[in-house]
Chains A and B, each alone.
Chain A
């Protein structure tokens, strides 16, 4: 069984030893998979007034997967209404808006086995905030965060991906209702023309410590942590919820963080590099 392999690589590469980034898929790795309209899309979350919004939790979406999944989240826009009187008795009202689309990876975004949540923490005085909206783009994957998995490291090491829409030969499948002859990149469920993101290893060092990956290059790593206090998996960023992250060509490490000693770190190590 272990000798059998299905492998699709980009044009110009030999399937025997093609570098990681030029391998579209192989049954020795696990691409991140998602589902349009079910596991990704945009969602506007309505925030209540400050008296009920300080550290208040809002649901972004239900994923209903029954486990803690890998997820991405982006802030698309927000609009918050304020009304307060300053120390000199001046009355201020207005709306704070922002339309910058930015990736978010802080602990305020978290999942349980059913839903993806946003915890809003209004930094102003209670009563100042009249409410507002946040619009997020979310993407949830059919991949557990908190289950140790490891796939064998392919020969070939790192390479630059190639991007060429016009190729003589391709293997691809389009989304329902889309003619493969007229499809563009986002119309495909998969295509040999485009590299993807695959998991090479998911492992926890515990509260702190190291996980070896054996890739020989510095990989992309998504970091999450389990907080026993909330019972959820949170998106982690450096020093927020976990300690400092260090990634080198052989291991991923996180330092001890005495502010969050109970949080359990999980590294999702991807077969891609920096």
Chain B
């Protein structure tokens, strides 16, 4: 049996010979990411004199294990460190059926950040 082909080409390209780069869908050669969950929250990074700031927030999701997650803080790709004197940074750790965000900052830190994450069906391990 011949493998099925299902190709939708981008405007200007012929589906009979379009490459994956020239296609919206190019199956079965390629697949697209399947987004299965998402979430968002805000977090304050408020430094304490002598201690700075450190916090972890874990969010569970609908994935089956350690799923691919991308996330952004204030629109910027996580992991992200603010290139200013505060030392503020946000990291993301993939955990089983969830994702953990780590926030850190200096003693003078004082900002509230918006985090949004997208979870995909792809398992990393």
Contact = CB atoms under 8 A, between A and B. Distances in A.
A83 interface: no
B79 A104 contact: yes
Contacts, number: 180
A102 B114 CA distance: 19
Given A27-B11, A76-B124, A160-B38, A35 B31 contact: yes
Interface of B: 3-4, 6, 8-12, 19-21, 23-38, 40, 62, 64, 66, 68-72, 74-83, 91-95, 114, 116, 118, 121-125
Given A142-B26, A190-B32, A237-B80, 6 more contacts: A31-B24, A175-B31, A196-B33, A219-B75, A221-B76, A238-B80
A250 to B, nearest CB: 12
A38 to B, nearest CB: 9
A173 B38 contact: no
A75 to B, nearest CB: 10
Nearest to A236: B77
Given A161-B38, A163-B36, A26 B24 contact: yes
Given A25-B32, A184-B121, A247 B10 contact: no
A83 B68 CA distance: 35
Contacts of A1: 11-12
Interface string A90-110: 000000000011111100000
Nearest to B76: A245
A195 interface: yes
Given A1-B11, A161-B38, A194-B36, A137 B124 contact: yes
Interface string A71-87: 01010100000000000
Interface residues of A, number: 67
Contacts of B37: 163
A189 B38 contact: no
A31 B8 CA distance: 11
Given A176-B3, A185-B36, A34 B31 contact: yes
Residue of A35, A101, A244, A273 with most partner-chain B CB within 10 A? A101
A72 B94 CA distance: 14
A217 to B, nearest CB: 10
Contacts of A210: none
